[in-house]
Structure 1
Amino acid sequence: MSRYQFLQSATLKSGVKVKNRVVLPPMTECMALANGEVSRDELRYAAIHAGGVGLFITPVAYVNARGKGFEGELSVADDRFIPGLNKLATTIQQKGTKAILQIFSAGRMSSSAILRGQKTVSASAVAAPRPGMETPEELTNAEIEQTITDFGEATRRAIQAGFDGVEIHGANTYLIQQFFSPHSNRRTDKWGGSVEKRMTFPLRVVDAVQTAVKTYADRPFVVGYRFSPEEIEEPGIRMADTLKLVAKLDTLGLDYLHVSMGNVWRPSINDQSDKTPLIDQIQDAVTATPLISVGNVKTPVDAERVMEAGIDFVAIGRESIREPHWVEKVEAGAEESIRYTLPLTDLDELGIASPYFDFLAGMDAGGAHIGFEPALATTEKGNAKDLVFRK
Structure 2
Amino acid sequence: MISNSLFDNTETAFRLKSDSELERAYFLFKMISKEPLVRIGTAVTKFALNVNLPVEGLIRSTVFDHFCGGVSETDCMSTVDRLSDVGVCSILDYSVEGKEEDAQFDATAAKVNELTRFAQNKKAMPFSVFKPTGFGRFDVFKKVTKKQALNETEKLQWLNIEARYDRVSQTAHECGISLLIDAEEYWMQDAADELCERMMEKYNKERPIVFNTLQCYRWDRLDYLKKLHKRAQLKGYKLGFKIVRGAYLEKENERALDNGYKSPICVSKKATDDNFNEIMKYIMDNLSDIELYIGTHNELSTYLAMEMMEEKGISRSDERIWFGQLYGMSDHITFNLGAEGYNVSKYIPFGPVKDVMPYLIRRAEENTSVAGQTSRELTLLKKERARRKL
TM interval, shorter chain, is 0.3 to 0.5
The TM-score, its normalising length taken from structure 2, stands at 0.45
More strand by share: 1
Point out which structure has higher relative CO (alpha carbons under 8 A, 6+ apart): 2
More helix by share: 2
The TM-score, its normalising length taken from structure 1, stands at 0.45
